[in-house]
């Protein structure tokens, strides 16, 4: 390996903290991550040779505080890393410097890798102060692995996913550059909405949005997008990088706190939205003209809007037998599931929490729509479905194909999702308040219960049922029954800390709060009584 010892010496392991690769990749305090970045740079070159394609590395901690950072590896189709490689990442990240070279050579031998093969790696980073230093460590690793690094600098996470897919399809999906990304999305948006769409008010739709950029990478990228959109959409960007990343702003803050971000003059009649720190989540919100209160439209409302629009287009195109479904997790609001099944008449599939599960299940359908309640989601369309749509040539199918071009199918993308949502609202002449009135969310509450060992709690049925400790699910069922119809609760172990997450919903906020509190008390009692595994 090229200059291995020299590069290792400046990216050596400084402590003994164990860090795992999970759904969000690696994520921790930035000071803990330099050696991991170097090792993942090397691993990226090995993975690229195994799959014989370009792969990606994104340095970000998404909605986490500024002092955190992290890393995600991106596979050839722009998807998340093959789950079977997560344990390999974790192993390489946590062994000693002295063991590293032998471990790498063993992996090379096990995978049958020819290190003379080319290995191309696309690298992007968010705006955190630590990201530049950590990016250099990744590139050191790519150099040590004798690969070629293409450093895209500051990008959103979805842009790197997009560009990896583009380069691996030889440009069929799009041009593998940041400007190529803006051109593809803006051209589709303008084609659907008109070059001067911002001057046209359609019924109750006003073509103007206020974007909360979370003081992250999404803010400057939204401003760059404006140059490509021209007069097709009015866009004002706040929290544009002059403040602290994700501090009292951004999609996660709005979703969890259920209130508007800082530095916002909150007015009736305006449509607001928030990105998270790396611009892969989006949450809409507004001030209600009836009660003057904050109202939020999260991932569930977004999924319903998009799926209903796709169903309408497919029906108009007379190809309504396409397998269109929505994929949710247990955190999806019960009212959304009821509306999808009983009003939209579409199938709903529930999977465990985590985008990798949602994305995989969505890909099994002709068209799969998935959004976590936190606003992270997208639409996947199979190649055979696109071919079939192309065979039915009419005005509606041309509109449908252009609409598909507006979607970043690789991963949840706040910028792409914003353009998709604005297109649908304009086509319907709807205000955000009218969109919100599709159904009424059931009041809900999330609680975190700290425990000695989260592993004593295990779940099944897509995390909706508790398997252990024995008796916990029976206790939960008994509590839920006290609160009547439309009430439910579930628990699941945290993926990142020794805690158990409790989710509850009911017909009033008071009931939801009480239900969550009672379930949390039972979780604390039973989890603490079980010996550590």
Contact criterion met (CB below 8 Å) for 73 and 50: no
Strand order in the sheet with 234-238: 234-238, 208-212, 271-275, 282-287, 294-297
Contact criterion met (CB below 8 Å) for 246 and 214: yes
Structure tokens at 452: 């000695």
**501 in a labelled binding site:** yes
**373 in a labelled binding site:** yes
Q: What is the rounded CA–CA span in Å between residue 226 and residue 182?
A: 9
With a CB cutoff of 8 Å and minimum separation 6, the contacts of 456 are 468, 469, 527, 530, 532, 533
**145 in a labelled binding site:** no
Q: Tell me the CA distances in angstroms from 501 to 329, 450, 476, 491, 513, one per residue in order.
A: 14, 9, 13, 5, 14
**353 in a labelled binding site:** no
The 10 Å Cβ neighbour count of residue 95 is: 15
Q: What share of the chain is helix, strand, coil (3-state, %, to 5)?
A: 45, 20, 35
**27 in a labelled binding site:** no
Burial class (CB in 10 A: 0-12, 13-18, 19+), 299: buried
Strand order in the sheet with 377-381: 348-350, 324-328, 367-371, 377-381
Question: What is the dihedral angle through the alpha carbons of 256, 257, 263, 265, rounded to the nearest 10 degrees?
Answer: 110
What is the DSSP code (8-state) at residue 250? S
Q: How many DSSP H helices and E strands does the chain contain?
A: 18, 19
**494 in a labelled binding site:** yes
Beta pairing, strands 208-212 & 120-125: unpaired
Q: What is the rounded CA–CA span in Å between residue 440 and residue 228?
A: 36
With a CB cutoff of 8 Å and minimum separation 6, the contacts of 240 are 213, 215, 219, 220, 223
**230 in a labelled binding site:** no
Beta pairing, strands 324-328 & 367-371: parallel
Q: Which ranges of 54-116 would DSSP assign to H, the alpha helix?
A: 86-94, 97-110
The 10 Å Cβ neighbour count of residue 226 is: 18
The 10 Å Cβ neighbour count of residue 392 is: 12
Residues marked as catalytic: 62
**Binding site, annotated residues:** 62, 276, 278, 280, 372-374, 492-496, 501
**Binding site, annotated residues for Mg(2+):** 62, 276, 278, 280
**Binding site, annotated residues for substrate:** 372-374, 492-496, 501
């Amino acid at each position: 390996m090229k200059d291995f010892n020299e590069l290792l010496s400046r990216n050596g392991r400084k402590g003994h903290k164990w860090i795992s690769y999970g759904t969000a990749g690696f994520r921790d305090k930035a000071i803990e991550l330099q050696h991991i970045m170097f090792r993942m740079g090397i691993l990226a070159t090995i993975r690229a040779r195994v799959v014989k394609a370009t792969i990606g590395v994104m340095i970000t901690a998404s909605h986490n505080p500024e002092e955190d950072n992290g890393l995600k590896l991106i596979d050839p189709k722009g998807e998340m890393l093959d789950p079977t490689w997560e344990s390999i990442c974790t192993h390489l990240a946590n062994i000693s410097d002295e063991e590293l070279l032998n471990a790498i050579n063993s992996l090379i031998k096990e995978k049958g890798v020819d290190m003379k093969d080319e290995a191309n790696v696309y690298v992007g980073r968010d705006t955190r102060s630590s990201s530049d230093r950590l990016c250099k460590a990744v590139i050191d690793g790519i150099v040590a692995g004798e690969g070629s690094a293409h450093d895209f600098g500051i990008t959103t996470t979805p842009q790197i996913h997009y560009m990896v897919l583009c380069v691996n399809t030889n440009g069929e999906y799009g041009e593998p550059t940041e400007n190529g990304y803006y051109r593809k999305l803006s051209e589709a948006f303008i084609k659907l909405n008109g070059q001067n769409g911002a001057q046209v008010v359609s019924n109750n739709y006003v073509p103007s949005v206020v974007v909360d950029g979370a003081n992250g990478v999404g803010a400057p990228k939204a401003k760059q997008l404006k140059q490509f959109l021209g007069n097709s959409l009015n866009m004002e960007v706040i929290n544009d990088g002059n403040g602290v990343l994700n501090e009292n702003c951004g999609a996660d803050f709005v979703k969890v706190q259920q209130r508007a971000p800082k530095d916002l003059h909150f007015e009736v009649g305006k449509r607001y939205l928030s990105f998270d720190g790396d611009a892969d989540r989006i949450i809409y919100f507004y001030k209600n003209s009836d009660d003057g209160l904050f109202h939020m439209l999260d991932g569930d409302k977004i999924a319903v809007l998009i799926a209903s629009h796709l169903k309408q287009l497919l029906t108009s195109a007379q190809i309504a037998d396409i397998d269109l479904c929505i994929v949710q997790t247990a955190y999806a609001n019960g009212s959304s599931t009821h509306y999808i099944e009983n009003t939209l008449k579409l199938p709903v599939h529930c999977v465990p929490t985590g985008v990798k599960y949602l994305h995989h299940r969505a890909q099994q359908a002709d068209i799969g729509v998935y959004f976590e309640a936190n606003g992270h989601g997208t639409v996947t369309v199979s190649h055979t479905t696109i071919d079939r749509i192309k065979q039915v040539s009419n005005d509606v199918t041309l509109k449908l194909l252009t609409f598909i071009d507006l979607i970043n199918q690789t991963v949840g993308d706040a910028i792409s999702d914003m353009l998709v949502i604005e297109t649908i609202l304009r086509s319907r002449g709807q205000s955000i308040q009218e969109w919100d009135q599709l159904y009424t969310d059931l009041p809900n509450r999330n609680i975190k219960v700290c425990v000695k060992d989260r592993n004593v709690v295990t779940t099944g049925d897509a995390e909706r049922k508790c398997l252990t400790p024995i008796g916990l699910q029976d206790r939960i069922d008994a509590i839920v029954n006290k609160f009547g119809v439309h009430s439910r609760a579930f628990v699941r172990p945290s993926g990142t800390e020794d805690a158990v997450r409790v989710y509850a919903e009911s017909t009033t906020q008071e009931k939801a709060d009480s239900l969550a509190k009672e379930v949390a008390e039972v979780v604390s009692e039973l989890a603490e009584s079980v010996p550590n595994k």
